[in-house]
Structure formats: C-alpha cells, structure tokens
Structure 1
Amino acid sequence: MSDHSGKRKHAIYRITFIGFVVNLVLAAGKLAAGIFGRSGAMVADAVHSFSDLATDVVVIAFARISAKPRDEGHDYGHGKYETLATILISLALAAVGTGILVNGIRAIRTVAEGGLLPRPGLVALLAAVLSIIAKEVLYRYTVREGRAVDSPSVVANAWHHRSDALSSLGTLVGIGCAYFLGERWRIADPIAALLVAVFIFKVAFDLVRTGLDELLERSLPADTEQEILRIVTASPEVTAPHNLRTRRIGASIAIEVHVRVDPKMSVARSHELTVDIERRLRERFGAGTLVVIHVEPLK
C-alpha cells in the first residue's frame, strides 16, 4: 500500500468514526426522548439515526478494501469497492425515505379517519433541536473532509447525515405545531415527514446515479477530457491525440490515449515524451491516476 493510500484510508477511518460516535449518542438519546416524550415522529427519527450507524460501518469496511493495491485478480486496484459502498449508502437512504413516507401516510390516514395523534412531550422537542444542530455540524465536517480526501463514499455518508438533520427539522416542525398549537395542528408532523422523504429520495437518486455511471464505465465529463487533451499536447512534438478513453475507478481515474510523433523520432525520445505526459497528468489528477499512452508515427 502506498503512503498516499495509507493516509487516505486512515483519514476516512477518522472521519467516519467521529460520525459513528455522534450517531450512536444521538440515536440513543432520540429513542429515549421519543419513548418518554410520547412522540412517534421522534422514535422514527431515532431509527433514521440508527441507519446512519450501519452506513458508517459500510464506509469503514469498504475503505479498507478500496485502499488495497492491485493484485493478480484486480489489475486496476480495488477502487470500485468504494463505488459499491456509495451505492449501498444510496439504497439505505432510499429505504429510510420509504419508511418515513409510509409512516407519514399512515398518520395522515389516522387523522382523516377521525383519529387523534398524541401530543408529544417537551423532551422530544428539545431532542429535535439538538439533533438538527449536531447533524448539520457533522454534515459540514464530513463533506469537507470527504472532498479533501476525494472519497465519494464519505461524501455520500455526509449527505446521509444531512438527511437526518432534515428529518429532525421536519420532526421539529411537527412536534412544535402539535405541542404549541393544539390538536388540529398535529397533522403537521406527518406532512413535514412527507416533504423530508421527497428530499431524501432526491439525494439517494443523485448518489446512486453517480455510482452506477462509474460502475458502467461512463466517460469523464467533456470538459475534463478536453483538459486531458490539452495536457497531452502541451509538447509541440506530440500531435493528433485520438482514441481517448477515460473512466473513474473509485477516487482515481484511468486515461488511455493514442498520440502521433515524428516517425524519425528515436524510441528513447518518444519514451521521454510519454513519461513527461504521464507526470503532468498525475500532477493534475492525482498520483493514483492510471495512464496508458500508445505512440504512433505521424503520417
């Protein structure tokens, strides 16, 4: 394992472990507040926080795998395992959104059929406020650090933290209306939950689409490929780049390109040019960038 990969792996562990501890404390606290505060919304919010614990474990496990160097069975390394982790987190988000949606619809039906939702206690209201603050801080920390180490699974997990914060916001609105405005306003709780579920589905869809694009070998964006071609042809001795192929492998990218040089150029000089191109590409896109350059004579 390279020094860069080792540092990246330990950074992912540290970021995710902090999130794990915060989620554990919040989930236990919200569950207690929901039970003693007679708030079904807060209990559901606690379940949402417990789901974050599961995704933290997924990130830690897959970070260890994705940091492994290439071997006989994985010529391009293990970066796609991190992509798989991102998709699993996305599916967890969708599952949480479905649970919130179903519970919200059930509560609205109860009111529509003449039922009465229970009045939550003040402890549930305070727990919602604390949860929003803690999870928003955790989101900002995790997404910043995840982007710093270029880890899509950590960034995906950060969005899971924010979905929990938004879930708590919806819970706060519902509990606040039920607590302060009387019986007829208690339906605000499930309505807010439905709005939160829609946002969660949107985040889950965006994340799973990104992960699937990578697994299905989607090329890098057009502007990135144009930048690659500019780097490849920075030397006037290299012309006519073609057959450019790009893809993402976890936190790294792979680049394959054909270039043409003077047919009278020596093998040693053409080799020097390709080494220089590889160096510049890795300086721009990271030391883990996989580069394959095929040299052809200019016709």
Structure 2
Amino acid sequence: MHKEIYRGRKARKVALVGFLLNSVLAAFKILAGIIGSSGAVLADGVHSISDFFTDIVVIVGFKITERPEDDCHNYGHGKYESLAAVAISLFLVVVGFQLLRNGLANIVSAAQGEVLPRPGGIALAAAVISIIIKEFLFRYTLNVGKKIKSSVVIANAWHHRSDTYSSFGVLLGVGGAFFLGQRWIILDPIASVMVSLLIFKVAIDTIRPALEELVETSLNEDEIDRIEKTISNHPGVIDFHQLRTRRIGTKAAIEFHLVLDAEKELTSAHEVATAIENKLKSYFTEDSIITIHLEPDISKTR
C-alpha cells in the first residue's frame, strides 16, 4: 500500500508540473498567435489547452488507484489507471483529427488561391519555445512513468511528445512563411497533416496495452515463459498446470496448480510454494498477486 501512495505522489507531482507549464504555454501561444497573425500558432495554443484535461485525468486517476483494497475491489483499484490511459488516448485521437481536418482544409484553400496572412516573429518564437518546453515535459514525464511503471503517466508523456511534433510542424509552416514568402505558407497545413498522422500512431500505441488489460488479456509470451521456467526449474516441483495470468495496473496476477510429491509434508510443500512466489514477485512486483493451489502427485500411488 505504501508503494501505491509513493507512485500516486510521484504521478501527481509530474502531472502538476505539466499542468502549470501547459497553462503558461497555452496562454503565451494564444497571445502570440493573435499578435503575430498566425492561425497555426493560435490553433497550437488551443491544442495545448487539451493538456489540462490529461493532467487532470492523471491527478484524479492516481488519487483513486492508491486507495486500498476494499469489499468491492478485492484486487485493488489498479485498472482505473488503465482506464485513465484510454481516456488520454481518446484525447489524442480528437486532437489528431482536428489537426488533420484543419490541415486538409487549409491545403484546399491554398490550392484555390486563397491568400493567408504572413505570420510575425513572435509566432515563430512561440513555436520554438513550445518545442523546448514540451520536449522537456516529455522526457521528464516519461522518466517518471518508467520509474514507477505507470502506463497512464507514460501515455501522458507521449501526449507531450505529440505536442512537440505539433509545434515542430507549426515551426516549419510559420518559418517557411516568414522566411521564404507568401507562396510557402502551404507548408503549414502540410506539416499539420503529417503531425496528425503521428499523433494517431501514438494514440494507437497507447490505447492498445490499456485495452488489453481491461479485457483481461494474459501476460505476454516472454513473461509467461519466465513464469513457466521459474516454476518447472524449482527443486521439488513435479509438474504444474492451469496457469492463468493477467495484469492489474502495475501488478501481475498469476495463479496455477502446483504438483508436488504426495509424501512431502505440508510445511515443506508450503516452503516450496513460498519460494516460487517470492521468485515471481522479484521478477514482477512485490505487490503482485500469486495464487498457488497445491496438489499431490498421485501417479505413484496408483
């Protein structure tokens, strides 16, 4: 339980840092877009507002996941973390769709000869500053997410990286229009379309493992192979069967039937089961749920 509280505090801290920086960055980009006559920077500022929601999802989500097991949640509240990761992924899809739609519309407008306003220097500066801040948030958040093994924090990190891609696309468009002239403004919508496709990929990569956990998908092949070798290679184990696995937040839930010598005393059998349990927990996490059903080997008694 102490570990969940530690994870929750770390996750909320990194989300709070992101929330504060995103607040300042969004306000600055919106102002720069208005003053610098840049629709791309203005849209990017509105895009940054969506980060508020993902940061709130992380803060609220971890407040729930650190709750102890109760009568209604015997295995804890870990799946709320996966549910939060799904929510962030859906935000990414919405943002990607908006960028794609706006980019295609601007490409059509430019192709029809519509004259778009040339952005000012403040718009270019806003794009550069956005890239620097969002890349910092991505690396900082990803590092914390991997450290506490949190899918939702990692998902939020990739949301920051999607903003870096978005701002880089804006930089290309604004920079092209600013330095190369009016006819190169079409670089902005073209870059926006490319960025939207990258965001869709990030959303898919983020939502897939979260959904797999929510629908009770087994652990991956490498993890199952590690479990099987840990059990079968342990001294005294004759056989095992009915291995079932799933993931609950950062915890692994593993259960199986363990076949031991029928002559083995209960204390010795318990020691074998405990040793296997400890090995599995050292590979996964200490709070993983390992359920072992002991069975006697009756083949020799027949």
After TM superposition, the score normalised by the length of structure 1 is 0.97
1:155 is displaced (CA, Å) by 0.2
State the partner residue of 2:192.
Answer: 193
Q: Which amino acid aligns with 1:297?
A: P
Task: Tell me the percent identity.
Answer: 48
Range with greater deviation from structure 2 (224-233 or 26-35): 224-233
State the one-letter code of the partner of 2:201. K
* Deviation of the 1:267 alpha carbon: 1.7
The Cα shift of 1:156 comes to 0.1
Cα deviations by residue, 1:161-189 (Å, 9 ceiling, x for unpaired) = 00001100000000001111111100000
Is residue 89–residue 155 contact of structure 2 (8 Å, CA) maintained in 1?
yes
The separation in 1 between residues aligned to 2:166 and 2:269, in whole angstroms, is 58
Letter in 2 for 1:89: I
Deviation of residue 287 (structure 1)?
A: 1.3
Count residues with an aligned counterpart.
298
Equivalent residue letter for 2:143? R
The runs of 4+ residues in structure 1 deviating greater than 4 Å are none
Aligned to 1:260: 259
Q: Which residue of 1 aligns with 2:171?
A: 172
* Alignment match, 1:151: 150
Determine helix, strand or coil for the equivalent of 2:245: strand
In terms of mean alpha carbon deviation, does 233-242 or 177-186 score higher? 233-242
> Helix, strand or coil: the match of 2:25?
helix
**Does the 8 A contact of 2:239 with 2:259 survive in 1?**
yes
**Matched AA of 1:278:** E
Q: 1:190-221, CA deviations, whole angstroms, 9 ceiling, x for partnerless residues?
A: 00000000000011011111111111111111
Displacement after TM superposition at 1:241 (Å): 2.0
**What displacement does 1:120 show?**
0.5
1:116 partner amino acid: V
Letter in 1 for 2:101: V
Q: Distance in 2 between matches of 1:280 and 1:88?
A: 34
Amino acid at match of 1:162: R
Question: C-alpha distance in 2, partners of 1:174/1:10?
Answer: 39
Q: What letter matches 1:293 in structure 2?
A: I
Counterpart residue identity of residue 283, structure 1: S
Deviations 1:107-132 (A, max 9, x none): 11111222111101100000100110
Where do 1:1-299 residues align within 5 Å? 2-298=1-297, 299=299
2: distance between equivalents of 1:29 and 1:115?
28
Distance 1:120 1:11 in 2: 40
Letter in 1 for 2:19: F
Task: Report the residue type matching 2:65 in the other structure.
Answer: S
Counterpart amino acid of residue 100 in structure 1 = L
Residue 25 of structure 1 aligns with an amino acid whose one-letter code is V
Paired residues of 2:4 and 2:65 also in contact (CA < 8 A): no
Secondary structure of the residue aligned to 1:293 is strand
Once the two structures are superposed, residues 130-166 of structure 1 have per-residue CA deviations (whole angstroms, 9 ceiling, x without a partner) of: 1101111110111011100011000000000000011
SS in 2 for 1:264: coil
* Structure 1 residue 235 displacement after superposition: 2.4
C-alpha contact 1:124 1:175 (8 A) present in aligned 2: yes
Compute the displacement of 1:239 (Å).
Answer: 2.6
Deviation at 1:82, TM superposition (A): 0.3
Structure 1 residue 44 displacement after superposition: 1.1
Asked if the contact 2:38–2:117 (Cα under 8 Å) also holds between the matched residues in 1, the reply is yes
Consecutive unaligned residues of structure 2, counting only runs of 5 or more, are none
C-alpha distance in 2 between matches for 1:124 and 1:156: 28
Q: Deviations over 1:43-65 (max 9, x none)?
A: 11111111111100001101111
Aligned residue type for 1:133: I
> SS at 2:68's partner residue?
coil
Read off the aligned partner of 1:76 and give its amino acid letter.
Y
RMSD across aligned C-alpha pairs, in angstroms?
1.0
Deviation of 1:279 after TM superposition, in Å, equals 1.6
Any conservation in 1 of the 2:29–2:126 contact (CA below 8 Å)? yes
Deviates more, 1:20-29 or 1:271-280: 271-280
